[in-house]
A = this chain, B = another copy of it.
Amino acid sequence: MKIEIKEAKKEDIDSILRLQTKLSDYHRKIDKNYYKAGKERKAIEKKRLVEYFSKREKNRKILVAKVGNKIVGFFIGKIEKAHSYCRAKKIGVIFQAFVEEKFRRKGIGRLFFEKLLKWFKKKKVKFIEVEVDSRNKIGIEAYKKYGFFEFRKRMRLDL
């Protein structure tokens, strides 16, 4: 199986949207009280993708994994203004990441991450951050393997 990691193109929008819907539905399943379903997020995700390609955004990078002609995963990296408590002015952020279930455990995540890492280094960020749901064991384990450590928790009270 030949896996290619490529920069996303405009014609990939529908495939990325399909995977984003799955990512949202995965979260929805974890916590239906809190997360929107994929279909509820489609409009905003589409708007963001269209803007990315039309504005040629320099602070965002969308990568896709291709097996043959099929897109089986995507990763979105961003450069963001750091929080005011952080010593750095800007940070690298892994914004969204998803690999189709049957293509997991083949190293696709790591290929994505290494390609984004090069970009982050070129952008001279000192910190790369990612936020994951605490119940998303797959995500947490993957980021640990890439060298990430947990440093902040978001806690919630439902009224």
Residues on A facing B (Cβ under 8 Å): 24, 27, 31, 33-36, 40-41, 44, 84-87, 120-121, 125-135, 140, 143-144, 146-159
Docked pose: A153 CA to B132 CA in angstroms? 5
Q: How many copies altogether?
A: 2
* A157: chain B residues within 8 A (beta carbon): 127-129, 146-149
* A154: chain B residues within 8 A (beta carbon): 129-131, 150-154
A134-B152 contact in complex given A34-B87, A35-B87, C-beta closer than 8 Å: yes
Most buried by B among A34, A84, A131, A133: A34
Docked pose: A122 CA to B40 CA in angstroms? 27
